[in-house]
Amino acid sequence: MANIFKLHDIEEKQMENLPEIIKNYADDSKLLENSSNNWLNALRLTGLEQFKSAGLPDKSWENWKFTNLASLPNYDYLPANSNVSDANNTRLLENSIKIELVDGVFKSCADFDISGLKIVSLKSELENDPKWIEEYLVNIGNLGDNPMMALNTAYINDGFVIKTDSGIKVDRPIEIIISSSTGNANYPRNIILLEESSNLVIFERYLGEGEYINNSVTEIIVKDNANLGHYRIQAEDLNAYHVAMTSLTIAKSAKYDGFTLTTGAKLSRNEIYTKMIDADSSCNLNGIYMVQAKQHADTTILVEHFEPNCVSKQNYKGLIDDHAKGVFQGKIKVNRKAQLTDGYQLNNALLLSDNAEINVKPELEIYADDVKCSHGATSGALDETGLFYLTSRGINPTDARKMIIKSFISTVIEDIEFDELKSILSLETDKWLDR
């Protein structure tokens, strides 16, 4: 079938924003592969058309003014297929249910016998039970505002699907290992659905080797009175590109506790859009980003309150060394009906070298009268007074520096509600400090 993404289909002004990897690999035979679902075919083509129309975001886009995708490598990447090699990465959590994705393809899931818990590949669910999942794939908002999500939509093929029945309390954590290999463009599309009054913990790890692009989209729905703990470590290769979009919907009296540790990728962007759609819900979005060399790490968050008496908290801390750059854009939007909202946002960053850079854009947009909202950001060098105090008492400068940094980030780790993860995160941060 002919290539439907030829250069003459793209306006001249958009062509400047489309590197060779995008210009060359989109064709309708790949888009429509293995699908007899008309709605899925239409969705894929819509994603491609929206991406072609928008082009790659650049600094003229308000939400992308600090992150420039022009650095994407200029050679062809082809979406991975089901023939990618298997992997057998070691799990970090005891007694976890391990899932593995390799180059965006669902490869394995450990055996488990838990009634009311479904873990399957997106590809198999699209083939065997597509009706229920259609709602969560097509309800994607304006793709023209998010071209990387549009590109992911164009190549929807596989990912993981996790679904609980109502009232299920899963006592084993689910550990998802997402690994990538050089020369690929990966587009995992994932769905996490917790039905009413269910309880679940998910731990994701992003790994890889070489230069590749990982462009993932995850739809999370936490229904009434459900509770989801969702924790991520992004430790991809320092030559990789990582773009992750999470759409999170939290219903009445539901709770979401989230944390992301970012240490990997040459360029990464972790974007989270949270909709608190009913009363009495709560959401924690916390994280640590630790970057070095010429890494670029972007965290962009929008939390939108629609109904009364909801609580949202964002607490991020950054360590930026060498010539690395950090970006934090956090916004809390309180709609008129969302009285008694409690919204909190804070980003603190330590610049560990004279060449390190941080760009911060905290925002509040409030239309309700009775709310308690705050936002703040600080950045600066390591506390020389504290360093002098410790070294004057016989602690060598290297250990003193680590002690101050560990103290700086420890408060975010301590707030995590999943205790088993705290020691893992402590080891990961130690590894970065000892690099």
Lowest mean pLDDT segment, chosen from 48-52, 61-65, 265-269, 370-374: 48-52
Dihedral sign from CA coordinates of 100, 326, 361, 67: negative
1's tokens: 């079938």
d(CA 224, CA 255): 9
pLDDT at 417 (0 to 100): 87
Q: Which residues contact 180 (CB under 8 A, 6 or more apart)?
A: 102, 103, 104, 186, 206, 207, 208, 209, 212, 214, 236, 237, 240
Q: What are phi and psi of 47, to 5 degrees?
A: -60, -45
d(CA 403, CA 425): 16
> Can you give the pTM of this predicted structure?
0.90
Q: What is the mean pLDDT of residues 174-193?
A: 94
pLDDT of 309 over the 70 cut? yes
pLDDT of 403 over the 60 cut? yes
d(CA 48, CA 26): 8
Q: Compute the mean pLDDT over every residue in the chain, rounded to the nearest whole number.
A: 88
Lowest mean pLDDT segment, chosen from 7-16, 175-184, 304-313: 7-16
Of 377, 376, 382, the C-alpha closest to 408 is: 382
pLDDT of 337 over the 90 cut? yes
332 burial level (CB within 10 Å; 0-12, 13-18, 19+): buried
Residue carrying the six token digits 């003229």: 60
DSSP 241-302: EEEEEEEEEE-TT-EEEEEEEE---SEEEEEEEEEE-STT-EEEEEEEEEE-TT-EEEEEEE
d(CA 184, CA 244): 16
d(CA 224, CA 196): 5
